[in-house]
């Protein structure tokens, strides 16, 4: 069996907005063919879902991710070396807009912490029910960052995350990257605002409604515990999540 399977023509340019209500493209990554078949059978029955490819190893996962630019990647945590975490991190560097859902056999706190740092949007167990899997995919596709809920439910992991945030603040952007509690879309919006755009201009640039931009900004302020967009921009730039304004 080949390490990756391409399930159709790439009809969407990489990086194009995909959350337009039409379809959610999904890449399945797992080294067990039977498990991939099970996921495909479940997800292909859902309206708006399209399985665009399958990969059974890390190389195939990376290559197909770059080639297809899927909205969602279901990533097996226990792939053979270099493994699901490192592959997640590598894909997020090349494809920051992808929502990566890590699938694990158990809730290991070290694995959860590493998944957070790698940029995963959700961390779920492989015994998840079909209905819950579908619901999680829809939420991640809409821009939610569900892994936060896992972190807040585990004080030991939360304290490690906060410790890394403090170290990042002390040592600046030279420190190892730590996860942003914002969705890729929220980072994109904040980045545009940092360049001086109004909500209306951001909406036009990203082909979304102005109300959607406002909704995202409310989410950003809540997640970062700041009072206004200026504070949010300063905080995000300090953490290295967005670039400095251009001259």
* pLDDT value for 167: 57
Rounded to two decimals, the pTM is: 0.61
Do 71 and 24 form a contact (C-beta atoms < 8 A)?
A: yes
* pLDDT value for 151: 65
Q: How many residues make up the chain in this entry?
A: 247
Matching CATH number, 180-239, of 3.20.20.140, 3.40.50.10800, 2.130.10.30, 1.10.10.10:
1.10.10.10
* pLDDT value for 17: 38
The Cα 161–Cα 107 span in angstroms is: 17
Query: Which segments in the chain show pLDDT lower than 70?
Result: 1-21, 151-152, 158, 161-180, 239, 243-247
Helix 210-224 / helix 229-239 crossing angle, nearest 10 deg = 60
* pLDDT value for 192: 87
Cα distances from 83 to residues 52, 117, 133, in angstroms, run: 22, 15, 22
Through-space distance between the first and last CA atoms of the chain, rounded to whole angstroms: 52
CA torsion angle 231 234 235 240 (round to 10): 160
Domain ranges of the chain: 4-152, 180-239
The Cα 81–Cα 59 span in angstroms is: 10
* pLDDT value for 245: 61
CATH entry 3.40.50.300 includes domain 4-152: no
Mean pLDDT of the chain: 80
């Amino acid at each position: 069996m080949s390490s990756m399977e391409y399930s159709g023509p790439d009809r969407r340019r990489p990086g194009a907005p995909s959350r337009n209500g039409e379809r959610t493209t999904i890449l399945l990554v797992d080294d067990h063919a039977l498990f991939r078949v099970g996921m495909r059978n479940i997800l292909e029955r859902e309206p708006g879902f399209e399985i665009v490819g399958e990969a059974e190893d890390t190389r195939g996962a990376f290559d197909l991710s770059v080639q297809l630019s899927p909205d969602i990647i279901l990533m097996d945590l226990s792939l053979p070396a270099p493994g699901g975490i490192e592959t997640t991190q590598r894909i997020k560097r090349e494809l920051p807009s992808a929502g990566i859902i890590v699938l694990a056999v158990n809730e290991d706190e070290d694995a959860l912490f590493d998944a957070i740092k790698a940029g995963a949007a959700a961390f779920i167990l492989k015994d998840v029910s079909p209905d819950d899997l579908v619901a999680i995919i829809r939420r991640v596709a809409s821009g939610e960052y569900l892994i936060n809920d896992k972190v807040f439910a585990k004080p030991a992991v939360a304290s490690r995350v906060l410790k890394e945030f403090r170290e990042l603040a002390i040592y600046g952007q030279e420190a190892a990257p730590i996860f942003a509690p914002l969705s890729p879309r929220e980072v994109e919006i904040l980045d545009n605002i940092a360049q001086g755009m109004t909500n209306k201009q951001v909406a036009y640039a990203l082909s979304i409604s102005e109300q959607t931009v406002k909704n995202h900004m409310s989410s950003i302020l809540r997640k970062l515990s700041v009072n206004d967009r200026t504070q949010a921009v300063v905080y995000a730039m300090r953490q290295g999540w967005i670039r400095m304004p251009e001259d």
